[in-house]
């Protein structure tokens, strides 16, 4: 090519396959999986020929040579504990597949892991599961490698972070060279050095990796009916798809692939005058009854805060009584206060209905109550960022109920009733940070008398068992 000498991005390395191959090599070696580990007999003999790493040489007794388990590989009991931890993991709906189906505890290996399973495993499960099962010198570089891929595959990249990753990955490989045998370093291990540089040149990797292409190829493979002529089958299926696409645009009153609601349809954003009513959330299930949550709505409506502050200042100056409060409300009514605000601030005279659900769809995320024990996905873990409640602490909890407040004129407010775990870092025994992983004690709760939040305040997270800290601790992901 005439422009080859000036081309900066000469090879667009596929991060998807690089991450999967690195994962297969790393996990196969630390679990000592036959056929996947790089710590083989030939690798040990190479060390002997080079005269290095005497601790990994073959153990020769009389006429036999034996390959002892290396210090960077898990013992059989530790391997079984690690596989049981992976088989117990549940992720939110749509985040990942059921990785537990790929775990063979008795065989001590994984089967059928897809590329995205390896992607989730590398960034979420591997750092949590190996901390107490491997030596500290082995754990630290693996944690750095997991953090490397997590930052590299983020939706938004910062140039300063990429410069730091370019420095960190070199250190990771240097530490790996002091741990694993030379056979461990395949071409994919060395390719990782170039990934931060390519991210600086080409931007986020989610516009360049193979996931969307692999999904399209998978759909094309499903359309093959005659395996003797796959190309013709794909062409006929594509012509049918194009024809249905063209005709479906003219069928307005018929449900097609273009106007069909999504599986997790939240009902869309509501255009209301008050912020508490403008929620894109859709509860479903059999409504039940619950406790009163109306006061929380009033205290978290941005438009009402000015009136609450004015009311508080007035009550500080005058003796509080029902008559004075009613005069204050009448004063606000005679002013330029919006009618919609006054319709709901006159509680307890305001009329509303309260329903309790166990399932809600919020911004295409599926939240469930605490009845998910038989499900292979977990949807109860929620968090609330510090800026939501004007505190310098992030809140973590479990969703126990979905509350729907119905006001007149079909206004509604969706709220979450949660069991909040104590996340105050100043209290001993509440939270722990180990290798950059945050763990919370689920046996210690707070704000039991203030369990409600608005649905749009919540963020869906994942709680993973913390084998190192104990059964009462969960790692926040």
Per-residue pLDDT tens digits for 173-183:
999 999 999 99
* Better pLDDT: 325 or 92: 92
Which is higher by pLDDT, 374 or 252? 252
Question: What gap in Å lies between CA 164 and CA 203, rounded to an integer?
Answer: 16
What is the model's pLDDT at position 335?
53
Q: Which residue has the tokens 């030596």?
A: 135
pLDDT at 401: 83
* pLDDT value of position 368: 57
CA 129 – CA 103 distance, rounded (Å): 14
**Cross-strand pairs, 437:** 434
Q: What is the enclosing helix (H) or strand (E) of 356?
A: strand 352-357
Contact status, residue 33 vs residue 127, Cβ threshold 8 Å:
no
Q: Is the pLDDT of residue 453 over 90?
A: no
What 8-state DSSP symbol labels residue 121?
I
For residue range 41-75, what is the model confidence (pLDDT) as tens digits? 999 999 999 999 998 999 887 778 888 999 999 99
- CA distance linking residue 183 with residue 39, whole number of Å: 7
The tens digit of pLDDT for each residue in 190-215 reads: 999 999 999 999 999 999 999 999 99
* Mean pLDDT across 18-41: 95
Q: What average pLDDT does this structure show over 92-116?
A: 91
Residue 387 has pLDDT above 50, yes or no: no
Instruction: Please tell me the distance from the alpha carbon of residue 178 to that of residue 11, in angstroms, as a whole number.
Output: 29
Ramachandran category for residue 51: left, alpha or beta (phi over 0 → left; psi -120 to 50 → alpha): left
Domain boundaries, the chain: 6-207, 230-260, 275-476
Contact 1, 7 (CB under 8 A): yes
Mean pLDDT of 444-450: 89
């Amino acid at each position: 090519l005439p422009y080859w000498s000036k081309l900066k991005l000469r090879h667009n390395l596929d991060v998807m396959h690089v991450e999967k191959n690195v994962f297969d090599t790393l996990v196969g070696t630390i679990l000592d999986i036959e056929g996947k580990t790089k710590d083989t007999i030939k690798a040990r003999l190479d060390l002997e020929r080079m005269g290095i790493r005497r601790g990994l040489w073959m153990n020769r007794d009389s006429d036999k040579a034996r390959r002892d388990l290396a210090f960077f590989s898990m013992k059989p009991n530790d391997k079984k504990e690690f596989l049981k931890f992976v088989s117990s993991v549940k992720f939110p709906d749509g985040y990942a597949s059921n990785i537990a189906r790929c775990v063979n505890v008795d065989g001590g290996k994984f089967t059928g892991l897809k590329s995205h399973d390896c992607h989730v495993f590398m960034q979420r499960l591997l750092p949590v599961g190996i901390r107490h099962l491997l030596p500290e010198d082995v754990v630290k570089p693996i944690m750095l490698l997991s953090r490397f891929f997590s930052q590299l595959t983020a939706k938004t990249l910062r140039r300063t972070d990429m410069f730091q990753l370019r420095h960190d990955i070199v250190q990771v490989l240097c530490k790996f060279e002091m741990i694993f045998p030379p056979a461990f370093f395949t071409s994919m291990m060395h390719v990782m050095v170039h990934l931060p540089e390519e991210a600086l040149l080409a931007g986020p990797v989610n516009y360049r990796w193979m996931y969307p292409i692999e999904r399209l190829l998978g759909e094309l493979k499903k359309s093959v009916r005659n395996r003797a002529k796959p190309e013709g089958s794909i062409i006929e299926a594509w012509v049918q798809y194009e024809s249905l696409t063209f005709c479906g645009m003219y069928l307005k009153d018929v449900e097609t692939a273009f106007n069909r609601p999504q599986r997790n349809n939240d009902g869309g954003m509501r255009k209301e005058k008050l912020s508490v009513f403008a929620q894109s959330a859709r509860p479903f299930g059999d409504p039940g009854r619950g406790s009163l949550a109306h006061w929380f709505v009033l205290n978290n409506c941005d438009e009402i805060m000015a009136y609450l502050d004015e009311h508080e200042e007035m009550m500080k100056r005058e003796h509080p009584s029902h008559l004075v409060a009613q005069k204050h409300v009448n004063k606000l009514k005679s002013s330029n206060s919006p009618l919609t605000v006054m319709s709901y601030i006159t509680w307890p005279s305001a009329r509303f209905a309260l329903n309790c659900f166990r399932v809600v769809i919020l911004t295409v995320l599926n939240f469930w109550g605490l009845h998910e024990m038989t499900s292979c996905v977990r949807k109860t873990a929620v968090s609330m960022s510090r800026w939501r409640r004007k505190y310098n602490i992030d809140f973590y909890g479990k969703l126990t109920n979905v509350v729907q407040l119905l006001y007149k004129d079909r206004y509604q407010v969706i709220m979450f009733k949660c069991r909040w775990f104590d996340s105050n870092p100043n209290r001993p025994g509440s939270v722990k940070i180990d290798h950059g992983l945050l763990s919370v004690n689920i046996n210690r709760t707070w704000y039991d008398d203030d369990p409600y939040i608005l649905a749009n305040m919540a963020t869906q997270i994942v709680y993973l068992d913390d084998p190192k800290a104990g059964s009462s601790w969960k790692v926040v992901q």
